[in-house]
Amino acid sequence: DALKNLGIKTLDKKGASRLELLDQVEHGTIIITAHGVDEKVIKKAKEKKLEVIDATCLDVIKTHDLIKEYLAKDYEVLYVGKNGHPESEGSLGIDPKHIHLIEQNLDIDKLDPNKNYVITNQTTMSLYDVYQICNYAKEKLPNLTIAKETCQATTIRQEAIAKIPQEVDIVFIVGDPHSNNTKKLANIAKEKSLKETYMIESVHDIDIELLKNKKIAAVSSGASTPTYLTNQVIEYLNQFDYQDHNTYQKPELDMSKII
């Protein structure tokens, strides 16, 4: 709905990869998101004479290069990530036969302990989840090399949200509720800081009644959330006074600062 409101048509088909979705595009420009894609997607786009703008995050490119480096050394690659996530899809597509998606410890138990492995991860995964799986893998796989790669924007946010001061009464995480790193931030806030936590897409999602008897709020956001949306939430909360109804009015969203 958020994309539709911005005038963006979504190409989607349950279970379809980005390579398959490309069949629906006959002309124009393809923008590769920060998540990156399987190289076959870019190749197919160029074969269809489409203009390709590659905006893949440098951290994701670094992970792809690392995967290729170890595959060339005949290693099996363990990729800690989420099934169906666009970043995982792009990374696994490099070599589906020798890259294994790891979502839980049970996936480690299915592997041959005699092979050489390197373990890396989806850059937006929770640091705590990645560390837990890596530690388990070290116990089970004697020939394991650990090469964790994490988006710096995600790392900084996760570490900060885990250290929220005790005096904070409520936490707002700004971002797409379907975003992996936005959900992870909210979970960390709840589990590590034990704070009352809410995910919102913009200032308009703030329920006024949640602010009753609250003195201090903490605000964080997903790595891909527009700074404009986060700042608008912060500015609104800074001026808010539950006793003064004149501070209740929420500002309009300027779409030109989002798109």
Domains and CATH numbers, the chain: 2-54 (no CATH), 58-150 (3.40.1010.20), 153-257 (3.40.1010.20)
Q: Which of 248, 251, 168, 252 is nearest to 208 (CA)?
A: 248
Residue-wise pLDDT for 161-195, tens only, equals 888 898 999 999 999 888 888 888 999 888 877 78
| List 87, 103, 201, 235, catalytic entry | 87
Concerning whether 87 is annotated as a catalytic residue, the answer is yes
**2: pLDDT strictly greater than 80:** no
Q: Cα torsion for 141, 145, 149, 155, to the nearest 10°?
A: 70
Phi/psi region, residue 252 (left: phi>0; alpha: psi -120 to 50; beta: rest), is: beta
Mean of pLDDT values over 16-23: 76
What are the pLDDT digits (tens) for 140-163?
999 999 886 666 777 788 888 888
Query: How confident is the model at residue 8, as a pLDDT?
Result: 65
Identify which has the larger pLDDT, 57 or 108. 108
The predicted pLDDT at position 249 comes to 96
C-alpha span between 254 and 259 (Å, rounded)? 9
> Cα(44)–Cα(50) distance, rounded to whole angstroms?
9
Max mean pLDDT range (4-8, 28-32, 65-69, 221-225): 65-69
